[in-house]
Structure 1
């Protein structure tokens, strides 16, 4: 009996160690592909620019892989180069090839959210009040500069400028990072975060367009409370909106909000699933999902393979990021 228990315990320890090693290998592969020596994450699919989305994603990956030195490197570069002293948020895009690397002084709330969320996780994991204070400051700035009441809902605008057009506001549903908002609610005890979660889920329930019943990457919310695909962008469920089921699944694995995605993807075999679809015309992409898109599909459908994500040498930044985030969500 004792021998069997000992064998079982050794097996369990070996499994835990192997899973940690696998996660570390994927993170090491990610860093070797996309992390510069100074802490900048490069978007290899977008001419080598950087943005707060990538910095925040990587900070979260570093925390979850217990890589404090990597985390600090990424955070230091982000704070030094992207912090906007006027509002406490972050310039969304950095182009090292431009005369002015930060031509657009706006923020992107998904990037700000991930940076603040990663700092919160880091502060708790490594018992560092400095991280927690930095997170609290960003969270406060998000509420002050990006959260509005509109059309009967409390919403977070995608950036501080350019999205409130008086008769309607443009929203990006992939910026509804529900698990982060829940952690902000738990720490701050501010009602605003729970209201954002509740209203965000209500809005996702209304963002079911065409025969696909899927949201568009960008959606307009009008003063009377109705929603429609935003006319300023193609009406596609595509590379932005793919993150909607990712964050819903991360927040609540059994959420009924996942059903439209399961129904749409369930129409196709895994390797013959269109990469995107126009939610107004129902016209699909002529090419199929692969890489990180498939990882989100697999996560949503409950089919994400066991083991570490495989970050290949051909993989671009966004595909690799989706693979890593899908694994964290699981």
Structure 2
């Protein structure tokens, strides 16, 4: 087991380990950021600004703004030391997505139109957990300011709501209190394996409200075990939805390996890079990388978790490749190197479906370059 970067403050650069010049890695990171966040590159741009000091990330395939994308954009901005963009995205999110009344008071509406009109009044917990972590990192990197830029206070309040909704008011928590597993949405009793971020929970256990810190430590341990439980023993593939016992939940056909599922190996990789825990299910990443060995990117498909392919092609093939590369944070050998090299040589996606692919692309690029860091 490697000693994690949390303890050493040393982050691997898997590109330079393969002989790529450090200056070329730096240039690629900056160029990729520019292509996602600058209007100079409309074919790849996913971040847009308004005239009132706000900004949003567009899901270009669905023509909306999602908490997933907003929270991802904030995490990207804090890693790139762009407080201006971070604050624009957070201000837009608080202004238009935050729900101040009703069943989901304290949460964020998961989807809005580009003018801020809510498409739904329900939350998606993957957005809340990324919001909270990005806010804590912002607090540690830049310091707190006036509301809503009192970052750490905003994060702590959000996590309190995520755990305690329903105790003294209407609503439901985002984590199941008994088994410490994150829910797909607050009202249901099943999960999404790709929502499990034990490396975030490990940090929440240090900075969240004091009375909740033991919960977050237990949640980190529970999620590492759950990721292993939900992944197929042979292929390593995870379903998009799964019950608490790890079995696939086929509601609306989401019990198979598809777009959400790609993030599981990303989360395992980053968890291992940060903490190097023996409990981290690195074998999941090894199995998934082995499963896709020899399959060209343009032939990636939707799969049953036992590996049987559907005719349906992958909706986000570049995102899947990026995930397979990021998985290498927890794997070794020629196959691991193959995915990193292939990813390095692959450009960003263009076209209407570019948003999700390119979010995963940039997170993978940051991680493999040693730039997806813990800000203490």
TM (normalized to structure 2)?
Answer: 0.72
Cα 1:270/1:231, change in 2 over 3 Å:
closer
Q: Which structure 1 segments of 5+ residues have no match? A: 1-14, 164-168
Between Structure 1 and Structure 2, how many residues are aligned?
300
- The alpha-carbon deviation at position 213 of structure 1 amounts to 4.3
Cα 1:229/1:17, change in 2 over 3 Å:
same
Which position in structure 2 is the counterpart of 1:206? 229
- The alpha-carbon deviation at position 83 of structure 1 amounts to 0.8
Paired with 1:211 and 1:251, the residues of 2 have a C-alpha distance of 22
Aligned pairs (5 A) from 1:210-225: 212-221=235-244
Aligned pairs (5 A) from 1:1-330: 19-32=25-38, 33-38=45-50, 39-46=55-62, 48-86=63-101, 87-96=105-114, 101-128=117-144, 130-144=150-164, 145-150=173-178, 153-161=179-187, 163=188, 169-188=189-208, 190-209=213-232, 212-221=235-244, 226-234=245-253, 235-253=255-273, 255-266=282-293, 268-271=294-297, 274-279=300-305, 282-287=308-313, 290-301=317-328, 302=336, 303-305=339-341, 310-314=347-351, 316-330=354-368
Paired with 1:281 and 1:264, the residues of 2 have a C-alpha distance of 8
Q: Which structure 2 segments of 5+ residues have no match? A: 1-20, 39-44, 165-172, 277-281, 329-335, 369-376
Cα 1:208/1:68, change in 2 over 3 Å:
closer
Cα 1:205/1:16, change in 2 over 3 Å:
closer
Residues 246 and 329, structure 1, Cα contact 8 Å, conserved in 2: no
- The alpha-carbon deviation at position 307 of structure 1 amounts to 6.2
More relative contact order, 1 or 2 (CA 8 Å, 6+ apart)? 2
Matched residue SS, 1:40: strand
Cα 1:312/1:233, change in 2 over 3 Å:
closer
Residues 242 and 296, structure 1, Cα contact 8 Å, conserved in 2: yes
Which position in structure 1 is the counterpart of 2:7? none
Matched residue SS, 2:48: coil
Residues 74 and 90, structure 2, Cα contact 8 Å, conserved in 1: yes
Which position in structure 2 is the counterpart of 1:3? none
Matched residue SS, 1:237: coil
Is 53-62 or 32-41 further displaced after alignment?
Answer: 32-41
Residues 61 and 355, structure 2, Cα contact 8 Å, conserved in 1: yes
Q: Which has the larger radius of gyration?
A: 1
- The alpha-carbon deviation at position 229 of structure 1 amounts to 1.2
For residues 158-217 of structure 1, the C-alpha deviation after alignment (integer angstroms, 9 at most, x for no partner) is: 2223x1xxxxx2211111122222221222360111211111121222213485342210
- The alpha-carbon deviation at position 317 of structure 1 amounts to 0.5
- The alpha-carbon deviation at position 61 of structure 1 amounts to 0.6
